[in-house]
Amino acid sequence: MDLVTVWFVIIAFFWIGYFVLDGFDLGVGMLLPVLGTNEVDRRVMINSIGPVWDANEVWLIVAGAATFAAFPLWYATMFSGYYLLFFAALLALIFRGLAFEYRGKHETSAWRRGWDAAIVLGSAVPAFGLGVIFGNVIGGSLLVSITGEPSNADSINYVGNFFGLLNPFSLVLGAMTLTVFATHGALFLALKTSGAIHDRARNVATVIGLVAAVFAVAALLWAQAFSGRVAVTLPLVLIAAVLWLGGLGMNLRNRNGWAFALSAGTILFAVAALFIGLYPNVMISSVDSVFNLTVTNASSQSYTLTVMTIVAVVLAPVVLIYQGWTYWIFRRRLSSEMIPVAAH
């Protein structure tokens, strides 16, 4: 593979890592009022993701930074055209981070309810919004035309408005990511906790998981209409479906580790299918396919990609080892008995 393809694969890897890792803690945040019947339960839920949620979000930052460096025209087009969607998602993530820090700074119930609402919204908005963004990237609903030759663009022109981004395909894909992340979070809680909250998490995972399966089948099969490699992407979608059903089955059998692993595998194969179906395009023009941005006409110079590759080879293993070590250190299950008596 040439370097532009290598970096397309690396960026896809970063997004897969983000959806698998931050997906479950976004799911935990969304389920806070559903599974957190009292303050102790809510403390257990927040503590389950407390050591890892900020490291999980780093994957989103790295994915954006890698896109900016490797494919600046892709970055400029996507972040400009979907500015309001990205702004809403990032603003929600900011308030979510503040909520984790500030909800325990005051003892009144109104104070904590307010920050709990920030956690729920701060988790749901990115979970849905990023799905909508990917739906527009894949479906080509952003109207893009290029001044000059496609291989050497002078400028990019946009036609349309914010509401045009809320098209049926992107909304279905957003519903898929919302429900899949909620299920992924419930399966994580079932793996990470014990007692009553563990049992409730298993039940909720089954219910939401079936709803997520409907949206996932609709979105991923619909995405095949935009795929340039159906012979490859369709088998990946079918594998994702089998893994998802297997994960729900393992959840019913109380095999929590397997259920969570199969859920993560589902996300991996589903996102991989979306990226493979998009390649070699990175942004699809709904004006004319001749104006599509591809890995070739949207990439940086080869020298930049070479330097980035060297840095990634040196630093990526360090980051992966460190994050893996963090998960290993905080692997113990949590229960309400671990919460200080004052919280009761």
CA distance readout (Å), 29 to 3, 71, 72, 100, 195: 38, 32, 33, 10, 19
Complete DSSP assignment for 122-167: HHHHHHHHHHHHHHHHHHT-SEEEEEEETTEEEEEEEE--GGGGS-
Encoded tokens for 144 = 């893009």
Total structural domains within the chain: 1
Gap between the Cα atoms of 130 and 152, Å rounded:
29
Instruction: From 124, 136, 80, 155, select the one nearest 282 (Cα to Cα).
Output: 136
Gap between the Cα atoms of 27 and 33, Å rounded:
12
Res 344: pLDDT: 46
* pLDDT tens, the chain, 344 aa long: 689 999 999 999 999 999 999 999 999 999 999 998 888 999 999 999 989 999 999 999 999 999 999 999 899 888 888 889 999 999 999 999 999 999 888 888 888 899 999 999 999 999 999 999 999 888 876 555 555 554 455 555 656 677 878 889 999 999 999 999 999 999 999 999 998 899 999 999 999 999 999 999 999 999 998 887 899 999 999 999 999 999 999 999 999 999 999 999 999 999 999 999 999 999 887 777 777 888 998 889 999 999 999 999 998 899 899 999 999 999 889 888 877 755 44
Gap between the Cα atoms of 77 and 145, Å rounded:
11
Q: What is the CATH number of the domain that holds 79?
A: 1.20.1630.10
Q: Is there a contact between 142 and 165 (Cβ–Cβ < 8 Å)?
A: yes
Gap between the Cα atoms of 76 and 146, Å rounded:
13
Res 298: pLDDT: 87
Res 228: pLDDT: 79
> Residues 199, 270, 3, 85: is their CA dihedral positive or negative?
negative
Gap between the Cα atoms of 251 and 266, Å rounded:
14
Instruction: From 184, 175, 200, 173, select the one nearest 27 (Cα to Cα).
Output: 184
Res 104: pLDDT: 83
Encoded tokens for 256 = 């929590």
Q: Residue 209: give the domain boundaries.
A: 3-343
